[in-house]
Amino acid sequence: MLLGLLDFGVNLGAMEAGRVVFDDSFDPETASLDNVEVGKVLMFNETLGTFVKQGLIDADLVYDMWWVEGVWARVGPYARRLRQSAGEPRLYENFERLAASAPGA
């Protein structure tokens, strides 16, 4: 399962997209809601959150490998804007839940 997630992230381009999210020029409050790179980061982390929620992968393993709460801190405002725009309050809820449950969060 873990190797499949790693492969998914690589094929999606999520790791490279993370550079956009952590670049000083990225502002989650004003970034265009059709930013493909931010969408990749959200999709990858929502997948992690969903797999943890469904018991397919251990949360502690995810927290050891990825800085979920730090990524959510950067893209959370963007995700909330997407929720509002789409009128769908559940959008990226598994990513948000995973970040909120992280040790030290």
Q: What is the mean pLDDT of residues 2-6?
A: 90
User: What is the number of structural domains in the chain?
Assistant: 1
* pLDDT tens-digit series, residues 54-105: 999 999 999 999 999 999 999 999 999 999 999 999 999 999 999 999 998 7
Rounded CA separation 67/32 (Å) = 24
Read off φ and ψ for residue 28, nearest 5 degrees.
-65, -15
pLDDT at 2: 85
* Residue 105 domain flag: no
Quote the pTM value.
Answer: 0.94
Considering the domain boundaries, does residue 67 fall inside one?
yes
Neighbours of 2 (CB within 10 A): 12
Which pLDDT score is estimated for 105? 73
In this prediction, residue 1 has a pLDDT band, given cuts at 50, 70 and 90, of confident
Measured over the CA atoms of residue 20, residue 43, residue 71 and residue 35, the dihedral's sign is positive
Question: Domain range spanning residue 13?
Answer: 2-100
How many angstroms separate the Cα of 91 from the Cα of each of 2, 32, 64, 84?
24, 17, 25, 9
pLDDT for the residue numbered 49: 98
Structural domain contains residue 65? yes
Structure-token match 């990524």, residue found: 71
